[in-house]
């Protein structure tokens, strides 16, 4: 089966809800705007074994390698005891996993764990985190349950309608209608798959753009901080961003004073040179005058 990113995440969440004692959230941002958003996040229903896990779903090797290179998965450890990568069977091996990360794979018979994550003590989670899980998670649970109920009712209605058509018009007409319905359903499923795939691609691109924006902002902040520290050291002040204009004014005064001192130095050198030249000129004049007087002959 060709899995899309979202379909794989939903399937993993369904498996964890049915086969583990964990509370499950899907695609839930764990902090304020711009903070980390694991594909699946779980907390065990236990008072003594508090080991939240973050799951990152991958449907391509290139996406996995890009995230590992950037270290994106380590951001989840601010909210979890461990990180699990999840992918279709055969895409990744346990040897591909970065240090401490686990791996689950989805095969034809379901999910299985190839490598367990290394669990660490979970950091203290803030109040806003719990409120977000409670409020958003509750809303999403209601939406999921409503969808499942609607899906079940819709399937039951379709079977009832098919039975009525078969009873009234015969097997041939019912088979023709069922075939047309199935073809339409397949076309709709194909269209949904294309839309979901394109949305996953766009979502990945938006994430990469956001990461590049954060990296560029961090680089600019680091450069500004370095320049501020150098300026403060030059003018003899603390590197306080609120006093950058005071630092700039002091630097201008220092430059003006330095330029003024340089001018005085050049004038002193000029006076010394002129004095030396006048002295040499006087000596030369005396020599010439002495040479111009006639020699005295002794009587």
Closest CA to 92 of 73, 76, 120, 77: 73
The CATH number of whichever domain residue 23 belongs to comes to 3.40.1350
Asked if the structure places residue 249 within a domain, the reply is yes
Asked if the structure places residue 298 within a domain, the reply is no
Per-residue pLDDT 10s for the chain (299 aa) are: 788 898 899 899 989 988 888 989 888 888 777 778 899 999 998 888 899 999 999 999 999 999 999 998 999 999 999 999 999 999 999 999 999 999 999 998 899 999 999 999 988 888 888 887 877 766 666 555 555 566 555 555 666 766 776 777 777 766 776 777 677 777 777 777 778 777 777 777 787 787 788 888 888 778 888 887 887 888 788 888 888 788 788 878 877 777 767 666 766 676 566 666 666 666 777 777 766 665 554 44
Asked if 163 and 184 sit in the same domain, the reply is: no
Asked if 12 and 116 sit in the same domain, the reply is: yes
Asked if the structure places residue 293 within a domain, the reply is no
Placement of tokens 């939240």 in the chain? 52
**Do the strands 40-44 and 53-57 form a parallel or antiparallel pair, or are they unpaired?**
antiparallel
Asked if 19 and 87 sit in the same domain, the reply is: yes
Asked if the structure places residue 143 within a domain, the reply is yes
The C-alpha atoms of residue 77 and residue 120 are separated, in whole angstroms, by 9
Asked if 106 and 131 sit in the same domain, the reply is: no
Asked if the structure places residue 92 within a domain, the reply is yes
Helix (H) or strand (E) holding 202: helix 171-235
Asked if the structure places residue 261 within a domain, the reply is yes
* Residue range of the domain that includes 21: 5-125
Asked if the structure places residue 205 within a domain, the reply is yes
Which are the contacts of 46, defined by CB distance < 8 A and separation ≥ 6? 21
Asked if 190 and 258 sit in the same domain, the reply is: no
Count how many domains the chain has.
4
Asked if 92 and 151 sit in the same domain, the reply is: no
């Amino acid at each position: 089966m060709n899995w899309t990113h979202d379909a794989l995440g939903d399937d993993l969440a369904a498996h964890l809800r049915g086969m583990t004692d964990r509370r499950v959230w899907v695609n839930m941002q764990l902090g304020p705007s711009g903070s980390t958003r694991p594909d699946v996040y779980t907390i065990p229903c236990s008072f003594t074994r508090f080991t939240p896990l973050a799951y990152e779903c991958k449907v391509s090797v290139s996406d996995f390698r890009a995230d590992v290179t950037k270290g994106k998965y380590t951001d989840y450890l601010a909210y979890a005891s461990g990180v699990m990568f999840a992918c279709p069977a055969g895409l990744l091996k346990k040897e591909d996993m970065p240090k401490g990360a686990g791996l689950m794979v989805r095969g034809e018979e379901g999910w299985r764990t190839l490598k367990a994550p290394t669990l660490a003590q979970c950091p203290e989670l803030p109040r806003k985190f719990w409120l977000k899980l409670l409020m958003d998670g509750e809303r999403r649970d209601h939406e999921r349950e409503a969808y499942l109920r609607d899906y079940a009712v819709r399937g039951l209605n379709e079977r009832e309608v098919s039975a009525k058509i078969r009873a009234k018009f015969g097997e041939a007409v019912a088979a023709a209608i069922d075939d047309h319905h199935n073809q339409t359903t397949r076309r709709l499923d194909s269209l949904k798959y294309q839309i979901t795939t394109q949305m996953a691609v766009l979502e990945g691109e938006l994430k990469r753009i956001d990461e590049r924006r954060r990296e560029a902002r961090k680089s600019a902040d680091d450069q500004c901080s370095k320049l501020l520290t150098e300026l403060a050291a030059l003018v003899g002040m603390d590197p306080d961003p609120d006093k950058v204009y005071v630092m700039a004014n002091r630097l201008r005064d220092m430059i003006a004073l330095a330029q003024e001192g340089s001018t005085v130095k050049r004038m002193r050198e000029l006076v010394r040179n002129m004095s030396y030249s006048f002295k040499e000129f006087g000596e030369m004049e005396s020599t010439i005058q002495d040479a111009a007087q006639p020699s005295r002959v002794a009587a």
